[in-house]
Each structure stands twice: as C-alpha cells, then as structure tokens.
Structure 1
Amino acid sequence: MQNTSEEQLQIRLITKQELFAVPDVPLSVPAIIDCKSLNDLVNQLLKESNSDFLKPKDFDFLVLGELLRVTLVEHLQEHNISSETTVDVEYLERTPAPEPEESILHDDWVSGLQTTDKWILTGCYDNSVNIWTTHGKNITSQKEHKSIVKAVTWIDQANPSKGFVSVSHDLTGIIWSWEPEKDKITPKIALRGHERGVDSVGVSPNSNRIATGGWDTNLKLWSASLDDDGGEPAQKRLKGSSSSSLSVRTPLNTLKGHKETISSINWLDNNVVCTASMDHTIKLWDAELCGLKSEIVGQKAYLSSSWSPLSNTLIASSADRHIRLYDPRSSEGSLCKTTFTSHSLWVSCVTWSKYDPHLFMSGGYDLAVKLWDTRSPKAPLYNLQGHQGQVLGVDWSNNKYLVSGGCDNSVHIFKNKHMQ
C-alpha cells in the first residue's frame, strides 16, 4: 500500500472566474496537498500562461461543494470518495478579511441595530433610539420608550425617509419618522396590543406591514403606514407620551401558537412570516389567512434567525453553540441541512449578507463576532475581534459594512474589502 505522503491524486482545476482560468488539463498532485499549496500551484500556472499576471492572488478551493480546510486526501475521506477518481477542484478568489473601521460608544448596552447606505440605526438598554453615520458620527438620539429597546428596523432600507420601528419591554412598538435633511426623528405612532415586553420586529418586503413578537408569545401584524389612520380603526393619543403627536395603533391581526417568547421575526415574502421562539420551534405563518403553514421543531430555545432571499434558506441560532441552516419551504424543511460550530457559548444573533448567498455573520455570548461561508461549516472565514462584552446584535444590510453591538455599550464597524 502506498504511503499517503507519497500518494498522488489526479485533479482538474476549474473556475467560474474566467479572468483566472488556467489550462483545463488533468494534473497529478500529492494527496496531502492543502489549500496553501494549491494556491501556490494556481498562481504558478497563471504566471506561466499569462505574462500580464504579476501580482499573486489568494484563492479558496471548493471540493465536493465545501471549502477545503484540510489536506485533499482527508477531505475526500471525510466524504467517502475514492482517491482513484479525478477530482474537480474549483478555485475562487478568497473573501478578504474585513477591516476594523470604527467603534461607536453608547451610554448603555446596544441590543438592536440596522444599517442603510448612509446611516446606522441603534436601540439601547437606556430606552434610546439613535441614528449614526456609517463613519461613527451621532446624528440624533431620543428616549420615547419607557423601558429597554430590544430591536429596531428601517421600514424601507432603500428609502430611510420612510421611517423606522422600535420595540421595547414597555409593551409597545413605535413608528418613527426620519427627516435626514433636518437630522430629525419624531415618534409618530405607538403600536399597542402586546401584554408583555416586545422582543422582535420585522417589516414586509413591500414595506406595508410590520410584525412584532415578544414575551406574551403572540405574533401581531400592523400597518406600517406613517399616515395617521394607516388603514386602522380610530386612534387615540397616548397618555404620558413626551410627544404630543404620538397616537395609538391597534394590530391588524394576532396569531397565536407559540408557547414561549418570540425571539426573532423574518418575512419570507409579503405574505409569509417566519418566527423563531424560545419554545424550541420555528413557525411559518400565512399573513393573509392568519394561520400556521408549517413548523420546525428543534432541541433548544431559538435565540435568533435570518432569512436569505438569495439562497431561500434560513439560519437560526439556539441556546447552544451551534448555528443551523434550514430550507423551510422544501418538503424536508424541518431537517437541518448544515450545522456551523465555532462559538464557545450561546450564539445570540445571526444575519445573512444581503448581497452574497453564501456569507453570513454571527455574534455570541463568548464576545465573538464571526464571518461565515456556508461552504465551510466547520470553521468561520474570520473572527472579528473587538467586543469586550456579550454580542447582542449583528447586521450586514449595507454591503460595505459589517456591524455588531453588545454589552460593552459599543457598535463595531468592519469594512467589507470584497465588494461585488
């Protein structure tokens, strides 16, 4: 039997990036070749076949749908593939490490955040909502809630002037107007109907409806209109509000079914809402018929989830160290397709890239923020350092910036060096 260190494998180097294509011929390489050696090989072939190729590139290598993180022969053995077959090795430019850009200090824990092209919206444990520039300058702050703000979201990320929503443990949500030309936010409408603290919020893709969930276990749907009637029943002014213009809106519908806190909300489309809960379930709801469509039953309480319209898949984090990927619309939607493990404590928050179907972020109680590729489930692409406290929120709505907030009262901004 041939020694593994002497064994040779037949491979074909292929790429979808025509700029970096090499001659399509079978190559014989050592079985113990790894990512670094393959990278050297591709760069050498590019240099030989293209005299204009001067600066070496960093490549990653896909074998059997997964990024190579061990030797090639070990990778084949893990997938029960014979080493006697010719192996297709696809190479692609490696996602570069995001660079630390800014750190924004708040007065208290940062529990919710979301970016647009120019702004970062944050919600904090001191009851405040805040708007910052992506370069870390504070534009405005206001305390309208009477308890901690748990989540915030823009009504239309492409058009921030349509306002935003915040939800709080004071049992309410608030729809705010945002006037960028005046650097002014104004609380307009209080969403009244929950009986306990509100933890999660999501806005439909067409920006018409808001979904909220919290400790009363109910999912509530609301009009997202900034107009005073909003298609709702007659309203009344909110007593005790610091804003004389704040009026009350009641929910369009209430959907019951969860047994514990609704920790996370995603709209899959304009009619389907996905909720993740501490009751170990993820539920899909028909927002038109106001009924349950399907559910995923897990082993632990779900803390966070994120839906990608690019890949039509859902990632969810639980009260353990793992992140799980589901395809909730498939016939096997309740089955976990992939598990991602690297955090040492509970994973408190996850979010997809809005621009790449393979990339997502996670944050945990281990103070860590991680950048993942779905094709590398055993290890993240990068660990983004900086937090001195538990991470409570992550966001990648603006392709330029990966942002995170947490118990160290700070928002960290990392610049994405891989702009598509």
Structure 2
Amino acid sequence: MQNSNECQLQIRLLTKQNKYAVPDVPLSVPETIDSKSLNDLVNQLLRDSNPDFLKPKDFDFLVTKELLRVPLVEHLQERNISTEVIVEVEYIERTPAPEPEDSLLHDDWVSGVATANKWIITGCYDYSVNVWTTHGKIVTTSKDHKNVVKAVAWIDKTEPSKGFVSVSHDLTGIIWAFEPATGNVTSKAFLRGHERGIDSLGISPNSLRIATGGWDTHLKLWSSSLEGDEEPANKRSRGVYTGITKTPLHTLSGHKENISSVNWVDNYVICTASMDHTIKFWDAELCGIKNEIVGQKAFLSSSWSPLSNCLLATSADRHIRLYDPRSSEGNLCKTTFTSHKLWVSSVTWSDYDEHLFLSGGYDSSVKLWDTRSSRAPLYNLEGHQGQVLGVDWSNKKYLISGGSDNVVHIFKNKHI
C-alpha cells in the first residue's frame, strides 16, 4: 500500500515510440519515485492495456529533456521546476549495454582506428597500417610509412572499395587502394607538403577532399583523386616511394600549435581543434577563418555531428564539452561531461543517434554517453590496460577503441 504521508506528484507519461504508448492521463506517484520505479509502472500499464505484452522492457525517462538519474523531486528541484504542476515524463527504450565482441592484437600502440561496413583499418606506432574484419581476422599489413601512423580514415564509409587515407609523423599522407574481394591494399598516392609530423585527418562528406593538420600548425586541403605527378624514375628504381605525389590544393594558416583534430562540418566548412586552446571553423572555398571558439586548455580531440549540428571537444583536462556554434546567447559550451579520471584523448559521435557518443581516455577507460545525461556515462566499456588513443563508431553495430596496450577492442551494439 502507498504511504498516505508521502507527498504525491502528478505526472503524465508520454512516448514517441507508439508501440509502447500507455493512456495519456495524469497519474499520482510518490514524489520520490525514481527511474526504476517508473520503469515498473510503465511495464505494468503496458501489461494492463495489452495482455500479449509479456516480456518487460527497459526504459529511460526524460524530464525537461534530461535523463532522470535521481528521484523525480530532486530532478525538479535542481531545475527550479514547480512540483505543483503536472510533470511530463517522456520514456524511451533504454540503450542496452554493448557486449565485448573481439580483441585485435597489434605489435605496438594503436593510434588510429576507422570502420566501414565489415572492415576496420588501424594505424600504429610501428609505422604499420592494418586492415581487419570486424570478426577479428587480419587481412593485410603494410609499412609504407617511415614513422608513427597517427590517423586513418575511409574515403567513403559506405563504399570501402574507394580506399582509405593514413597520415604519419613521416610528414606524409598516403591514399590507399583497397579491394574488398581480395583484401589487397596498395599505396597509390603520397600527400607531400607538411613540414612537421601530421596528427589529424578528415574526409569531406562528398569524399572529394582530404584535410590534414599537424605540428607545423597548418591545415592543408588535398584532392582525393588519384591524379598527380608520378615519382621520378630514379626514385622508382631505388625502391623509394613509388606512386603519385600530390601537393596541397590550399594551405590554411591561423593556428599557433599542433592541430590535433580535423572535422568537416559539410563540404565547404572545416572545423579544427588545436593545442593552442582554440577551435576554428574554416571556409574551405574562400580559405579563411569563419569563427572560432577559445578554450582554457589545449584541445586533444573533437567530433562533429551532422545529426545535432554540435561539436564535442576534449581538452588537457578530464572533461568533454559540447559546443553549439549556432547559439546566439550566452556560452557556446552547452554541456560538460565529467567522468574520466585523466585526460580524455579521443571522442566520436555515433553516426546514427544524435544523442550518443563514445569517449576514450588516458585512464584506460572507454565510455558510452547520452548527451541528455551529463552526470555519468550510460556505460563503461572495460578491457584496455593502457591509454586509449582512438575511438570510432562509424559502423553502428560496432564500437571500436585502440590504445597503448597494443589492442583494439570491438564492442557489439545491441541496440539494433
């Protein structure tokens, strides 16, 4: 029985998932009700309205567009919301915990990871670029780079046959041809023009342009086509870098320190994050800076979401910050996510859900987040024994991370 002395709240349960809809009527619930008790209530209402509803579902609850993580009355009080009105409580099917799928063992630190369909490419500190299947099988290993490989990216995530790109501290990028039927990988073109090591890489949404950033503080734009100047015959005969040499289409200057991350906002705008404490948005056509965000610390990584039109960025601290560059009022930083115990080295949005993202840190942890819950991640993905250096969620089925323990971990997304 209900405690008659316990204060009650009036709520209305709503959902956009019609198959789980319950009667849209006000309900009286204890003010201390939490997400677990709300979950029991929704499941009971579903059973009452549909006798065929046998298997309980796990739901999360949104109040004022934020996930409920404390008793309802606390949630309302923290946001100065009256407890005298009917509170709208939206419920959504809970994102299930990803399950460990496989581990890919490398000979050295893994600094770059990228997925397309059933293929994973990795870049390593042993100068290697590797292609794997998502089932853990090594397809090929190439060592055409002469120094640490820092980043890798598919030219088109939906068509692996269009090849991929890698960048290295040997001052070059390589465009690779990839044949999915045979697994053959061939270096086709070399990007030359950076004066110091290249750290970051981005491919335009239309796959026609490559952007690279590095320790020379320059952002360089390249064509992804395999047209260029052949290497001189005397170099080919000595076995030195055969193939096409490409020079930058444009060099954009403005940063004062290493460019740690490159994202294409669309086919005409590029976003860069740098250790000079700034994030800059560039016009790729006019080759100028559109606007910038100034932070307090060096930026280590960033990720742009075309679904939410927001940017996630990590700094030389324990925090992940969400920026909305469209905001016209107040701080561009809309939310701060804090759970990592050391610097957060890498972050990536989900490609299929505007609220979900993945982060990896020097504390050996990988975390799955929902932007509507800044207090804590949805899940901690365990397994790494060293610093996490790269994360990827380009294939919605797989959450990928690589690190200084020489391992890439694959987690299966059970939400699909």
Under TM normalisation by the shorter chain, which class is it? over 0.9
What's 1:252 paired with? 249
If the length of structure 1 is used for normalisation, what is the TM-score?
A: 0.95
Q: Which AA in structure 1 matches 2:30?
A: P
- In 2, Cα distance between the equivalents of 1:349 and 1:370? 11
What does 1:109-258 align with in structure 2 at a 5 Å threshold?
109-226=109-226, 228-229=227-228, 234=229, 236-237=231-232, 239=235, 242=239, 245-258=242-255
Root-mean-square deviation over aligned CA pairs: 1.6
**Are residues 1:347 and 2:325 paired?**
no
What's 1:99 paired with? 99
- In 1, Cα distance between the equivalents of 2:329 and 2:262? 21
Is the contact made by 2:131 and 2:139 (CA closer than 8 Å) also made in structure 1?
A: yes
What's 1:13 paired with? 13
- In 2, Cα distance between the equivalents of 1:64 and 1:156? 38
Change (3 A) 1:242 1:37: farther
What does 1:70-109 align with in structure 2 at a 5 Å threshold?
70-109=70-109
Q: CA deviation at 1:79?
A: 0.5
Q: CA deviation at 1:163?
A: 1.0
What's 2:66 paired with? 66
- Between the aligned residues of both structures, percent identity stands at 75
- In 2, Cα distance between the equivalents of 1:5 and 1:61? 26
- In 2, Cα distance between the equivalents of 1:77 and 1:237? 72
If the length of structure 2 is used for normalisation, what is the TM-score?
A: 0.96
Q: CA deviation at 1:350?
A: 0.3
Change (3 A) 1:137 1:5: farther
Structure 2 unaligned blocks of 5 or more = none
Q: CA deviation at 1:331?
A: 3.3
- In 1, Cα distance between the equivalents of 2:250 and 2:329? 29
Q: Which AA in structure 2 matches 1:190?
A: F
Q: Which AA in structure 2 matches 1:267?
A: W
Q: CA deviation at 1:334?
A: 6.1
- In 1, Cα distance between the equivalents of 2:19 and 2:240? 58
- In 2, Cα distance between the equivalents of 1:100 and 1:275? 32
Q: CA deviation at 1:330?
A: 3.8
Q: CA deviation at 1:333?
A: 9.0
Structure 1 unaligned blocks of 5 or more = none
- In 2, Cα distance between the equivalents of 1:40 and 1:81? 24
**Are residues 1:382 and 2:379 paired?**
yes
Is the contact made by 2:152 and 2:165 (CA closer than 8 Å) also made in structure 1?
A: yes
- In 2, Cα distance between the equivalents of 1:236 and 1:217? 27
Aligned length, in residue pairs: 412
SS in 2 for 1:225: coil
For residues 70-110 of structure 1, what are the alpha-carbon distances to aligned partners after superposition, in whole Å with 9 as ceiling and x for unaligned? 00000001101111111000011100000000011001000
Find 1:315's aligned residue among 307, 312, 325.
312
- In 2, Cα distance between the equivalents of 1:237 and 1:79? 67
**Are residues 1:396 and 2:401 paired?**
no
Q: CA deviation at 1:332?
A: 4.9
What's 2:34 paired with? 34
Q: CA deviation at 1:236?
A: 3.6
SS in 2 for 1:182: coil
Find 1:264's aligned residue among 261, 264, 282.
261
What does 1:319-338 align with in structure 2 at a 5 Å threshold?
319-332=316-329, 335-338=332-335
- In 1, Cα distance between the equivalents of 2:117 and 2:70? 38
What's 1:273 paired with? 270
